[in-house]
Chains A and B, each alone.
Chain A
């Protein structure tokens, strides 16, 4: 009994170390980039995924032997890293720190979608070229792949150590990490250092992707997002920018996952990383190994708010647009167009909700999809199990989302600038993981089917026209609600927090209170949108609302102009409807979003209609 327990434990440990090693490879790249550029690189997961695909192509299609595959992956991903730095980020060095972060999101959208277009979104089988022999070592079963992974891990660590320690380029890199300006003054070519860093990080990410593809025998485009977050959790665990810490963080995360999955089941796998992410951010933001508890000093402050005067849109124009939108179904009967616009109104509500916290109050949220999911599940459960009429359930769900959403984000209130973005992203993922695992309430991975359609006073909205009007009226109510808030003392207070939270607090503004109010109002609107969407789809599961939706809404918000309500809706209509109108574009939708985001950040950070 105890022997078999020991056996299982040792097997889990080997598993954990193998996976952990891969996380460590990802995390080290992130640490190098954070160290040199003070940037959390969201595109890193995509580089990792592309590494896996390159490995898959050359090994299974071209029958290239394994060692040469490593060389090819290193070259390809190193180059990709250099390209990302040169064309995506170099122009953004002087902007607020959140700008390059958003740019890396845009890059990752584009890379993921490109991969999907070329190789299809489906998983591809990736047989490991290594023989399946396992070595028994003192009762422990070790596969050849485990040995390879460990070998790559150790080699990379040693080479990296030697590079940073003993080469001139390594010194330059460390000098830049310590003090960029001073290094530049001493004659270090900071741009070359940056490019080198991205090249190294790209190679390591590529190795990690290749190994993980071989380990799980599969590659698929969506692996990028999760991997990026895992790598970031490992990096944070070890301390942002701390290379040895990141290796330890990766191994620890791998072990926790391995033991955790054994204890709770495979569906919990992703939950651990996100809980660790939030826990570390809130409790030990400098990582496990740092002596100080504080966040790294300041460079991360500054929201992505450009000084600008908003474009003044006359109220008759807004009123006219609303009238046209309301009258549209009378003249247009194309159900497809009405459906597309219905989607635009619903995601417009999400964009409104997001522009309140991110634009007006300056708290960049990447987790708003979680609010949609809470609203949708609450309403589905209320109407199905308690038979509450839809219109009441819509209101209650919005309220529940406001309360739950605010409580969930509460731990992130003490964070600033782009740590808020990371934390909210993690919180959004946690919501979807809880939905996945809380079977008794959410029906687990099966999801909830047969949700009654939206109705009002007993009339069910089933025709596209009815759903169109219903959603449009909801959007207008939400806009009115928000306009009222933004024009009150709350709007002023939120904007003061966005501009300078230290000064705002010094003038008596209780930051937590007003952040809570912003998130509550925002989650209220997002919850209503999610609830309506769930009833419209009649089926929801834990994947109906992914983080991508939240990030997409952020793109709309930036497109329209931060805090600009008309801008948010315009952005939503533009980005939802345009790919549909030009039908050819629909397949390239995320590529388009990524490129729009990149171009905006680079050339028009205040958006189309300007910051309010």
Chain B
């Protein structure tokens, strides 16, 4: 059984089919990339898979169980973590606190969900701070420091600085660190290298590769095709809300429908596209770094 099963998932916005009957599976330990032109519905799909948006149709199964009707925090507590396309760190929180928020679902007190008793318990725990709570906090803090240390000298010296003072690239790193603190069973990365220069991109690529080698299941949205080709076990191509292709990176790269989606056809497109097609009819001429 696949870890994550997406079944004919659809999302309409007032008649616009942002995601239209998309189905695919992600197996444990697999890295699957989702590519497609801007507006293809990739981020909407991520929002659906993390519970930030509700599908109009279809189902999401995680470990064989439907996640429909759950809130996004419940998605998270089941081990689905994500980063955001434009970076959404908590500006006035320190770097370490940002990462600790990622570990929120693992707090003992926070897990006693639902009942008013759990609520009172959480308040009293915060007030009295018994040894168990104190130890847990220390343990999570050490763990957060270790996660931050994985980014080398990028974040460690800035651990106690507020996140708003970080550079753009560092905020993206912090997002990944925060997601890792959740100990995700599946990690969704929405354009993790957007706005990064080639060196920084290479760094992130190596970082994701390490995660992959550790056996983490990863779902990746990315425009930089070289990165996609190097990391992915499988690639899913979306266009206009549809899944138009799926398969091994090489196969997808040569799929005529994919080329059409990215570049248009001779009939519909303009002159420049004809030129492109004459240049190369077998591979997509993406700008490779």
Contact = CB atoms under 8 A, between A and B. Distances in A.
A521 B179 CA distance: 29
Contacts of A168: none
B162 A309 contact: yes
Interface stretch (B87-95, B203-211, B224-232, B239-247): B87-95
Interface in B143-184: 162, 164, 178-179, 182
B101 A492 contact: yes
Contacts of A484: 126-127, 129
B76 A507 contact: yes
Contacts of B88: 500, 502-503
Interface residues of A, number: 33
26 contacts: A308-B92, A309-B162, A484-B126, A488-B127, A489-B100, A492-B93, A496-B93, A498-B92, A499-B91, A499-B93, A502-B52, A504-B90, A504-B101, A505-B71, A505-B76, A506-B72, A507-B73, A507-B101, A507-B105, A507-B178, A509-B104, A510-B73, A510-B113, A513-B119, A516-B119, A517-B123
Contact of B104 (A488, A495, A508): A508
Given A496-B90, A513-B119, 14 more contacts: A484-B127, A489-B109, A490-B123, A492-B93, A492-B100, A496-B97, A502-B88, A505-B76, A506-B73, A508-B104, A510-B110, A510-B113, A520-B123, A521-B123
Contact of A499 (B81, B92, B127): B92
A611 interface: yes
Contacts of B123: 485, 490, 517, 520-521
Contacts of A503: 84, 88-90
B107 interface: yes
Nearest to A562: B92
Contacts of B179: 507
A490 B122 contact: yes
Given A307-B92, A506-B52, A513-B113, A488 B73 contact: no
B73 A493 contact: no
Contacts of B84: 503, 506
Interface string A426-438: 0000000000000
Nearest to A512: B71
A119 interface: no
Given A504-B101, A507-B102, A507-B178, A489 B137 contact: yes
Contacts of B162: 307, 309
B44 interface: no
Given A484-B126, A506-B76, A493 B52 contact: no
Residue of B84, B88, B178 with most partner-chain A CB within 10 A: B88
B104 A481 contact: no
B76 A508 contact: yes
Smallest CB-CB A-B distances: 9 pairs: A508-B76, A508-B105, A488-B126, A499-B90, A503-B88, A307-B164, A490-B126, A496-B101, A505-B72
A142 interface: no
A252 interface: no
Nearest to B127: A484
Nearest to A497: B90
B217 interface: no
Residue of A485, A488, A493, A506 with most partner-chain B CB within 10 A: A506
A305 B92 contact: yes
Interface in A498-540: 498-500, 502-511, 513, 516-517, 520-521
A507 B81 contact: yes
Contacts of A493: 101, 104, 110
A488 B129 contact: yes
A514 to B, nearest CB: 9
Given A307-B162, A506-B76, A508-B76, A489 B126 contact: yes
B77 interface: yes
Contacts of A481: 127
B127 A485 contact: yes
A611 B113 contact: no
B122 A517 contact: yes
A315 B281 CA distance: 71
Contacts of A517: 119, 122-123
Contacts of A489: 100, 104, 107, 109-110, 126, 137
Nearest to B88: A503
Interface in A120-145: none
A517 B123 CA distance: 7
Contacts of A508: 73, 76-77, 104-105, 110, 182
B50 interface: yes
A505 B107 CA distance: 15
Nearest to A504: B101
Interface string A291-307: 00000000000000101
Contacts of B110: 489, 493, 508, 510
A504 B164 CA distance: 16
